Structure 1
Amino acid sequence: MTEFAQLRAFLTVGELLSFSRAAERLGVSPSALSQAVRALEERAGIRLLNRTTRSVSLTEAGERLLRQAKPAAEDIGAAIAALRRKGGEPAGVVRIHAFRSVADRHILPMLTEFERNYPNIVLDITLDDAVVDMVAGGFDIAIRIGEVVERDMVAVALGPELRQVAVAAPAYLARHGTPGHPRELTAHRCIRWRWPGQDHPYRWEFNEDGRWFEVAVEGGLIVNDKALSARAAAEGVGIAFHTEEWVAPYVADGRLVRLLERWSAPFPGMYLCYPQQRQMSPAVRAVITALRATAVS
């Protein structure tokens, strides 16, 4: 490999801290990647990575090289990619990670026109409610609620604040009564939701006199899909906790009733976020522009 290729191999491994994931991203074998990093270490005369059978970590020298060389390598990569594009038109793969709930509002509306305007851009979209590390996961753009956006990301609001409310079917309330305070939910059958990748169900969050507090509810149903929790609540299975706009159709036709609204306060809504970059590819910039156009007030 050339010196630049060796450096790129090290930067990818150093960023992901995994030879297998770095090899997958670069399209080479882990053994070839290991040889490239070793060759760079020999060229520099210093160890850059600590390797064990289970983990990879950066040495102090490796951390310094990663910090100093990554911006320049990104600029070089972007310049080379620009030379390869036909006629200078945006091209390439742009990877997007988004919460499931944003697909209909912010992704579907832009797809038809975007496909027509940028035929050489491939959108690789993952819809998942997990809060993933964008950089480690190889994503260019993410759409998620404001409270889980990393501080070092550029964040652009795509909509107003959101509010979660407890809801239940009239039949359930007739059988079990209506809770008068969020803490009374512990005596009810609640439909719990678990964040992807988490061991324990989400604790329902409420606000009293400007202070947030959590309630660890119980119940016989745990799901990882918010849409299922709303449908189950409408069937009388139990009390669900959901974004207000998502359950609005159920409330409008009487299948669900809002509960405990006094303690349901707004929180930051959906944000488009992406890493700060000295040199952003035209393809990523085109996708960001298209998604920002879907913002609602």
Structure 2
Amino acid sequence: MRATGNTDLRAFVAVAEQGNFSKAAEQLGLSPSSLSQIIRTFEERLGVRLIHRTTRSVSLTEAGERLLLRIRPALAELDAALSDVGHFRDRPAGIVRVRCLRHAFRIYVAPILVAFHTAYPDIKLDILVDDAIVDLVAGGFDVGFTLGEVLEKDMVGVKLGGEMRQIAVASPDYIARHGRPETPKDLHSHKCIRWRWSGRVTPYNWEFFKDGAWFEVEVDGPLILSEQTMTIDAAVQGMGIAFWIEQELKPLIDQGKLVSLLEEYSAPFPGFYICYPQQRQMAPALRAFIDFVKASAAER
């Protein structure tokens, strides 16, 4: 026997509950004759009469009463399941997997977490904060925050803020003991606090700008760290010269804990972007997160 369709069952329940073909047909958006034919075909397929029909009334047979008792809870559960799935369309829900550089997390993500959760309580953010440059798709991420200079060509990138620049800094105590470098080459005779990109073997070479071109300086010093903020802490303590984003260093410079160096060799470069793979239809949860980040960044 062919499996019974959802339409057959709903037609039967409507007739049983209304006790009238005309009212049931109106509820289902059908003509009474079409509904009658659906029920008749349903009974023929089952080989059992489900409904007694007279010119004045409709009643269930014993088989019909037993069927109604069994399928009414099942249909209610089915409706609840479909309604739950519909929330993904009407109200964004699900998991958004995010890859975020540490500095971008502090600027663009950390400040919005509470507000985003309040606006979208059914969205769960799974965030990996790491300074490694990785393939988002291969890593299973939905969206990432990265620098414009390393934005992958096949990604959709939305600029979040203005340009940034990196500067060298040292404590007043270090400068009093060792002097100031006047050019980037002078860094070879200074103690530099180096940083290693996550996943890289060698430390990051410091980048400077002169005469319209960028160039790198391979510095040396007593300390190599995997966390940029730690290099700044070490510089404040007078251990050597550090190199990082000016926006992060400005409060310490304003407080007199650090002194900026070689600024004439420090040029701006593209700032942070939120990026994601190009796709025909974006999940509502992902779209909600991206739009929220963009709106927050625009207000800054």
In the superposition, the TM-score normalised over structure 1's length comes to 0.70
What are structure 2's unaligned runs of at least 5 residues? 1-81
Q: Specify every segment of 5 or more residues in structure 1 that has no aligned partner in the other structure, as ranges.
A: 1-80
SS where residue 134 of structure 1 aligns?
coil
SS of residue in 2 equivalent to 1:238: coil
Q: Residues 85, 194 of structure 1: CA spacing in aligned structure 2 closer, same or farther, 3 A cutoff? A: farther
Are the counterparts in 2 of residues 121 and 283 from structure 1 also a CA contact under 8 Å?
yes
State whether structure 2 residue 177 is matched by structure 1 residue 175: yes
- Residue 267 to residue 170, structure 1, CA distance change in 2 (3 Å): same
Q: 1:207 & 1:168 partners in 2: Cα distance?
A: 20
Residues 208 and 214 in structure 2, CA contact (< 8 A), matched pair in contact too? yes
Which of the two has higher C-alpha Rg? 2
Mapped pair 1:84 → 2:82: no
**2:286 aligns to what?**
284
* C-alpha distance in 1 between matches for 2:220 and 2:86: 55
State the AA in 2 paired with 1:256.
Answer: L
Corresponding residue of 2:36: none
1:240-259 equivalences in 2 (<5 Å): 240-259=242-261
Name the SS of the counterpart of 1:199 in structure 2.
coil
Distance 1:136 1:241, change over 3 A: same
State the SS of the aligned residue for 2:257.
coil
Distance 1:87 1:257 in 2: 52
1:7 corresponds in structure 2 to: none
**DSSP 3-state at the match of 1:184:** helix
Q: Give 1:230's aligned amino acid.
A: I
Aligned length: 217
Q: Indicate yes or no: 2:219 matched with 1:232.
A: no
Q: Residue 145 of structure 1: which of 144, 147, 150 is its match?
A: 147
Q: Which residue of 1 aligns with 2:135?
A: 133
2:191 corresponds to which residue? 189
Q: In the aligned structure 1, how far is the partner of 2:86 from the partner of 2:140?
A: 21
Aligned 8 A contact 2:194 2:220 in 1: yes
- Return closer, same or farther for 1:132/1:82 CA change in 2, 3 Å cut-off: farther
Q: Deviations over 1:96-155 (max 9, x none)?
A: 111111223211222222212212111001111111110010001101111111011111
- 8 Å contact 1:109–1:294 — kept in the other structure? no
Moved over 3 A (4+): none
| Alpha carbons of structure 1 residues 233 and 278: separation in structure 2 relative to 1, 3 Å | same
Q: Deviations over 1:62-111 (max 9, x none)?
A: xxxxxxxxxxxxxxxxxxx9983437321111001111112232112222
1:74 equivalent in structure 2? none
- The whole-number CA distance in structure 1 between the counterparts of 2:112 and 2:197 is 27
The whole-number CA distance in structure 2 between the counterparts of 1:271 and 1:222 is 28
Matched, 1:266 2:268: yes
Q: Which amino acid aligns with 2:87?
A: K
- Counterpart for residue 157 of structure 1: 159
Measured in 2, the distance between the counterparts of 1:87 and 1:253 equals 49
- Is the contact made by 1:91 and 1:120 (CA closer than 8 Å) also made in structure 2? yes
For residues 184 and 144 of structure 1, the distance between their equivalents in structure 2, rounded to whole angstroms, comes to 31
Q: 1:191 to 1:277 in 2, by over 3 A?
A: same
Q: Partners of 1:168 and 1:112 in 2: how far apart?
A: 36
| 146-155 or 97-106, larger mean C-alpha shift | 97-106
Residue from 97, 122, 131 that aligns with 1:95: 97
> Conserved in 2, the CA contact under 8 Å of 1:188 and 1:239?
yes
C-alpha displacement of 1:294: 2.1
Structure 1 counterpart of 2:109, which letter?
I
Alpha-carbon distance in structure 1 between the residues aligned to 2:128 and 2:88: 30
**Are the counterparts in 1 of residues 88 and 284 from structure 2 also a CA contact under 8 Å?**
no
CA distance in 2, matches of 1:110, 1:138: 23
Whole-Å separation in 1 of the counterparts to 2:163 and 2:294: 16
Q: Cα–Cα, structure 1 residues 109 and 122, in superposed 2: closer, same or farther, change >3 Å?
A: same
2-structure distance, mates of 1:222, 1:129: 15
Cα distance in 2 for residues equivalent to 1:174 and 1:162:
29
Please tell me the residue identity of whatever aligns with 1:84: V
Change in Cα spacing, 1:82 to 1:182, as seen in structure 2 (3 Å) is farther
